[in-house]
Structure 1
């Protein structure tokens, strides 16, 4: 994992290794500038005295999690073919977890309370929605995704000499590019039809068997209502199943196949009709994010999701949000992908709400007006060294304050309650995010299994709209 380096005027230099950062700190040539992401500031060097290499920040926007990868790229020319080859070395992997759903739920709850108060407590005339909205207006839960991603892009640009950006923007339709006149049945049954359906189903059903929940196994497309009994090829009638469940179901209706599991039947039927909300959220925000990235005045490379997946399979990289970001765009080789990932969770900066509410929308208790106590604020990263009592030990994490002075600390291993403030030392102020370190869960073997899974769904002899079991 790379360490960010700033010069004595807080301008970005090339990141260094952890070992070199430790030596610079021990020799007094650097000071700790920030704990997470760990950044040091040199006291004896300026940016003009350093040699900078081109760094690229890659993004894979998602509905719940956005992957980011800071890479150093090197381009070479193949003498035999004259093709430009791009080799990248990963310096840092990050995953930004959004809180759009929490914002949506909070706004819905607030609106419900307001409507009840207006309607039942006393009569108030209806307030007509006569406010105008700009053409680029997004719902708060969607705008949050754009703002947080751009905030971290700007932060990483201040910590590292980023010279270019890459974003997964669209999945280009090669059929219309090759044949602009294609339409009707020829388009619907073309080369991209099966691919789009498979990817849609994999995302919608969480890449697991709808009947038994099996993961990391080759999956097949199955008709919920069999074709032999009048079932259609619509996406709402399709699901994914492992080979054993697909064979066992055969041409039986789902009500007969899962007769002993009525709750699972209701869940499958409800999920089959539900739209893929994550895809709608990404589609609503990707162009807004692209326009904001262009405003940074850095060159922005855009690529398709199909190319990202192709790069990942060709380079045998596991399926992770941050590694998807590293595979965006033109990539020929990739190094140092198996490293720790900085997981960033958007937590917000507190609330203006001064009371808790009952289920009827009436106030219940009052919250303290001051957001700090004993020099600490909820969300600060603290280090607590407890020397006596039942909780002897050292704890590092985010703190939740109380006016009594007995704090809670959210560590990487769990919540520790009842830590007195005199044992705590603040190491970083609250910035609206929670941090943790994770490892790449997938191994090379699992990556091979995922590749086999994708291959099983893309067999040339398999019609994506017809499963073998259903005939």
Structure 2
């Protein structure tokens, strides 16, 4: 059940709840079981679109207005927006198609022949050209939400954001202010594992409007 941020801070301060996820922020009660809990009447509203899908969690209660008509007052609890990747995928496929078209029309008749640029397995070890199979370095993976606290030096400060790992141990952290490079892995603390999605937080453009319902028996139009 969504609650007010002040209520969440109170539960965490009293040790009655623990943090499950950082983004989106989710807590779990420790002194109450699922069988002993009841969820209040909430509704999930979905507004699908071509570029994004809006999701809102609302609750509603019936009240009488100044004309003594019963209206349903809805209050927005959580508002989310899922941005689709279809347009970016289409643009990437179109660029790849243009690259292939260029290769098919390339004139290679007067290009110098390939010579002495083969793989040398006896020189640098076999195989020389291979993909790195290790994606986890020092317990971190690219995309994890981390917090780095650098005590001293040119990069002294606290940085919170997504990490890009390196086998050398120098990580890059992308924050809201930009990307900080060369953070040593010993200063990094894990906040949340990567789940394949990127999250951003922004202020709401406007409040959710309540839908008036005329008559003694209020019926949802949706």
In the superposition, the TM-score normalised over structure 1's length comes to 0.35
**Is residue 394 of structure 1 aligned with residue 152 of structure 2?**
no
Structure 1 match to 2:112: none
Structure 2 match to 1:91: 77
Structure 2 match to 1:54: 41
Where has structure 1 moved over 4 Å in runs of 4 or more? 76-81, 109-120
1:435 to 199, 207, 222: 199
1:32 to 19, 26, 34: 19
Structure 2 match to 1:424: 188
1:73 to 23, 36, 60: 60
Deviation of 1:105 (Å): 2.6
**Is residue 372 of structure 1 aligned with residue 118 of structure 2?**
no
Higher helix content, 1 or 2: 1
Higher strand content, 1 or 2: 2
1:266-316: CA deviation from partner (whole Å, max 9, x where unpaired): xxxxxxxxxxxxxxxxxxxxxxxxxxxxxxxxxxxxxxxxxxxxxxxxxxx
Secondary structure class of the residue paired with 1:436: coil
1:60-89: CA deviation from partner (whole Å, max 9, x where unpaired): 2222232221111223577977x6522111
- Alpha-carbon distance change, 118 to 398 in structure 1, aligned in 2, over 3 angstroms: same
Secondary structure class of the residue paired with 1:106: helix
**Unaligned regions of 5+ residues in structure 1, if any?**
1-13, 121-364, 444-471
**Is residue 107 of structure 1 aligned with residue 89 of structure 2?**
no
Structure 2 match to 1:415: 179
Distance in 2 (alpha carbons) for counterparts of 1:100 and 1:378: 23
Aligned length: 185
CA RMSD across the alignment: 2.9
1:387-414: CA deviation from partner (whole Å, max 9, x where unpaired): 1111111111111112222111111222
Q: How does 1:133-282 map to 2 (within 5 A)?
A: none
**Unaligned regions of 5+ residues in structure 2, if any?**
107-128, 208-222
